[in-house]
Amino acid sequence: MASFEAKKITDKVYWVGAIDWELRDFHGYTTSRGTTYNAYLVLGEKPILIDTVKAQFYDEMMARIASVIDPKEIAYIVSNHAEMDHSGSLQKAVATIKPEKVFASKMGVKALNAHFNLDFEITEITPNEEIAFGDRKFKFIETRMLHWPDSMFTYFVDDGILFSQDGFGMHLATSQLFADENDDNVLYYEAAKYYANILLPYSSFVTRLLAQVPSLNLDIKMIAPDHGPIWRQPKDIKFILDSWQRWAEQKIYKKAVIFYDTMWNSTTTMADAIADGVISEGVKAVVMPLRASNRSDIALEILEAGALIAGSPTINQQMFPTLADIFCYLRGLKRQNLIGQAFGSFGWAGEATKLIQQELTNMNVELVADPVAIQYVPTSDDLTKCHQLGSKIAKILKSKGE
């Protein structure tokens, strides 16, 4: 067993999580930089472990705890979130540590009992009240649907640390524990990708939570999520809170995302002409051929876009299966306030364009301009229509978008 060390956050708090350098897929979301599963140890008269790690990293977590104290000294374990990347080691940890109590939210008690055959009782925590664990004070904040119904934040009053489980996190394996030790561009990219793929459908809950924060009277000095680095500089805390606020608002941005698949390049040629029309109006275009683009990258692009333009040839009276995949995914993410339209090519029947229009409508995308459906190979006139589709959408984005 390697000698994994805990990392000191304050005199009272240590990071005892794990770095997953290898993870490249999280529920179909490409995690190209891996991730971390952060667990935290709060020292005091009654040492407390906040969250655990994915099951395969149990030994690593225990070694990090053991570098600070004997794990059996831990009096309480708090589970902020039942999803197995944070609770997967809970059962084993309880068997070894034998804590006096394990705490979770009301929904967390249900979820943990449903996931595991537990031979210990989980105690439901009282939210929003200051609670003393020995000489340390905590507050627990229910954050339903961020990311699951059981989710809650734990606020450590003494040091002003908000342990926010999935909240304000990102999938980023890094040796640098604090956000200010990491590259700002990487942080923005990974935080946005995480929000777009995990939290976007729950944006109304994010808005409600952020509106509630001032009334909670928290003096937040650090935000310590369960994935990615810890936010400790005031400017970094402001950055992640402001970013979540903005992403939750789902504004219209001056950017069009064009995704498509193709058979003999007619649809590719059309996509390029549409993009040229968008660009001709000074609006940003992002063209994403589906065979070279993962759905989670498309979700990221759509987070800060205003238009979605989708194209496919007709194949056996259907759109391409790649389109069906991305529409299924995006429908679930529920991005609001988009405009868009469909385009495509066909041989003898043009169902794909109509099917795409139906999918866009199901996503609440407002269809503007006319769709473009062409037979076999686009003519010069067809490409002019594509260009006009792009420029018309761009003009609307210029009038409405940020």
Q: Which is nearer to ligand FEO, 51 or 359 (CB)?
A: 51
Quick one: 190 or 226, whose CB is closer to ligand FEO?
A: 226
| Separation between Cα atoms, residue 381 and residue 69, nearest integer Å | 74
What residues act catalytically?
27, 81, 83, 85, 147, 166, 194, 227
In terms of CB distance, is 227 or 284 closer to ligand FEO? 227
Which pairs with CB-CB distance under 8 Å and at least 24 residues apart come from 96-101? 96/62, 96/71, 96/72, 97/49, 97/71, 97/72, 98/72, 99/49, 99/74, 99/75, 100/46, 100/75, 100/76, 101/75, 101/76, 101/77
Residue 276 is a binding residue for ligand FEO (CB under 6 A): no
Calpha distance 100→133 (Å, rounded) = 11
In the complex, what is the shortest distance from the CB of residue 35 to ligand FEO, in angstroms, rounded to a whole number?
8
Distance between CA 149 and CA 117 in Å, rounded? 20
Is residue 227 close enough to count as binding ligand FEO by CB under 6 A?
yes
CA 59 – CA 206 distance, rounded (Å) = 34
Is 147 a binding residue for ligand FEO by CB under 6 A? The answer is yes
Q: Which one, 334 or 400, has the nearer CB to ligand FEO?
A: 334
Q: How far is the CB of 227 from ligand FEO (least distance, A)?
A: 6
> What residues pair up with 290 in beta bridges, in sequence order?
none
Question: How far apart are alpha carbons 80 and 155 in whole angstroms?
Answer: 11
Q: Residue 66 CB, nearest distance to ligand FEO (Å)? A: 24
- Please give the residues from 287 up to 306 whose contact with ligand FEO meets the rule CB under 6 A: none
Q: Degrees (nearest 5) of the Cα angle 55, 56, 60?
A: 100
| Residue list 158-177, contact with ligand FEO (CB under 6 A) | 166
Please report the beta strands in 55-194, taking only residues with DSSP state E, as ranges in sequence order.
76-78, 101-104, 122-124, 131-133, 136-142, 152-156, 161-163
CB-nearer residue toward ligand FEO: 79 or 357 = 79
d(CA 311, CA 306): 17
- Distance in Å, CB of 108 to ligand FEO, minimum: 12
Does the footprint of ligand FEO cover residue 392 (CB under 6 A)?
no
Tell me which residue has its CB nearest to ligand FEO: 83
190 binds ligand FEO (CB under 6 A): no
Least spacing, CB of residue 40 vs ligand FEO, in Å: 14
Q: How many CB atoms lie within 10 A of CB 331?
A: 14
**Site map (CB under 6 A) of ligand FEO, residues 53-92, x = contact:** ----------------------------x-x-xx------
Which parts of this chain interact with ligand FEO (CB under 6 A)?
81, 83, 85-86, 147-148, 166, 226-227
